[in-house]
Amino acid sequence: MSADHRAPYLSIVATARNDNHGGDLLRRMQLFVDGVLAQCDRYRLPSELILVEWNPPTDRPRLVDALDWSWQGSSTDVRIIEVPPQRHRQFDHASQLPLFQMIGKNVGIRRARGSFVLATNIDILLSNELVAHIARQQLRSDRMYRLDRWDVDPNVPVDASVDERLAWCRSHCIRLEARDGTRDLRTGQFHRIYWKPTWRVRLLEALQDWRLVPTVTRKRLHLNACGDFTLMHRQRWEDVRGYAELQMYSMHLDSVLCTAAHFAGAREHVWRDPISMFHIEHGTGSGFTPEGQAALDARLAKAGIPQLKHAEFHKWAIEMRRTGEPLILNEADWGLRDESLPEASPGESSVASQDMKHESLSAA
């Protein structure tokens, strides 16, 4: 717990492993950690940062040792929860996919102590306006909070203050991930997610209130880059049992979560700039970008890693809208509820981390 022993208002949950995924991972993660800890302290936001360290490589330091935690202040507790390699190996496709991102987030969400839980990623910087707004502690328990994402050049300066880093991000945006699609700010090219409906679809939607025809389209939610920022009351996460724990690549699983949460009663609220987030660009094909989708799909196909196709998600979303009910895919023990997992915090003896490393090596 933090210095005054209050329960946190906000739990910030992300998952990672020290494997250099996407290139320069520790540097991107350090920027994320610095920003979260400094901003929560500045705005006196009672919070906890939960990093779920999934399947840590046995030949590299644990995150508790690999990152610089000197930004840590009195407002934020840091908890690093480990899912050991031996547990990872029990999942399908474990040899091809070293991290199950959404199951990892569920591990953190399930163990979060905050009233509200933000699921995000380790290459995200939050704007000061966003953290200050949350620190007012006026979030509503019946809302699902979303916002646009600004992608930025990867060379965010490490040797700068948090404010200087954010100013740099503002002047080095390369892409905007908005509700209707993605705009490349360098070329002006726009990749649309939602298309304008035909007059027939509009007529069907107009008539649905009269119950003359079934609903045939999916709800127009802000699903673009929703895996990087979804903020809800802890009970809303419980209502849908977290992210779908499908043992596959994480594509569209965040969209399934947000759609299910909407139909479980969490009304979407989209914040507007300057309440925003910045995403540090990663290597092409390591995660989704419009121009890198082909490379990502090829890498997954070559490795034999399944992913949820857009058509399948679209079918599920239409069914949720037709029935008005969320799609719940997880059992009650989601988030590895019944498993005792190692946990560490910065400032604790690194001997504990080394002991866990030796245990993992022995079990390998």
pLDDT in 10s for each residue of the chain, 364 residues: 444 457 899 999 999 999 988 788 999 999 999 999 999 999 999 999 999 999 999 999 999 999 999 876 778 999 999 999 999 999 999 999 999 999 999 999 999 999 999 999 999 999 999 999 999 999 999 999 999 999 999 999 999 999 999 999 999 999 999 999 999 999 999 988 875 555 555 555 555 544 444 445 678 999 999 999 999 999 999 999 999 999 999 999 999 999 999 999 999 999 999 999 999 998 655 566 677 778 888 888 999 999 999 889 999 999 999 899 999 999 999 999 999 999 999 987 443 443 433 333 233 3
pTM of the model: 0.88
Short-list 115, 33, 17, CA closest to 71 = 33
Q: How far apart are CA 320 and CA 217, in angstroms?
A: 10
Half-sphere exposure of 120 (CA within 13 A, CB side): 29
Q: What is the pLDDT of residue 72?
A: 65
C-alpha closest to that of 285 among 16, 15, 21 = 21
| Under 8 Å between Cβ of 312 and 204 | no
Closest CA to 186 of 171, 175, 170, 202: 175
Nearest to 60 by CA among 14, 21, 4: 21
- Span 295-342, pLDDT tens digits: 888 888 999 999 999 889 999 999 999 899 999 999 999 999 999 999
Cα torsion through 200, 204, 206, 209, rounded to 10 = 180
Instruction: Answer whether 11's CB lies under 8 Å from 50's CB.
Output: yes
C-alpha 291/C-alpha 301 separation (Å) is 17
pLDDT at 293: 77
Strand order from edge to edge, sheet including 124-126: 124-126, 277-280, 149-152, 173-177, 181-184, 190-192
| Residue 70 CA to its chain's centroid (Å) | 24
Could you tell me which residues come within 8 angstroms of residue 36 by beta carbon, excluding any fewer than 6 positions away?
A: 12, 47, 49, 76, 126
- Residue 343, classed as helix, strand or coil, is strand
Name all domains of the chain by residue range, CATH numbers in brackets.
10-363 (3.90.550.10)
pLDDT at position 282:
80
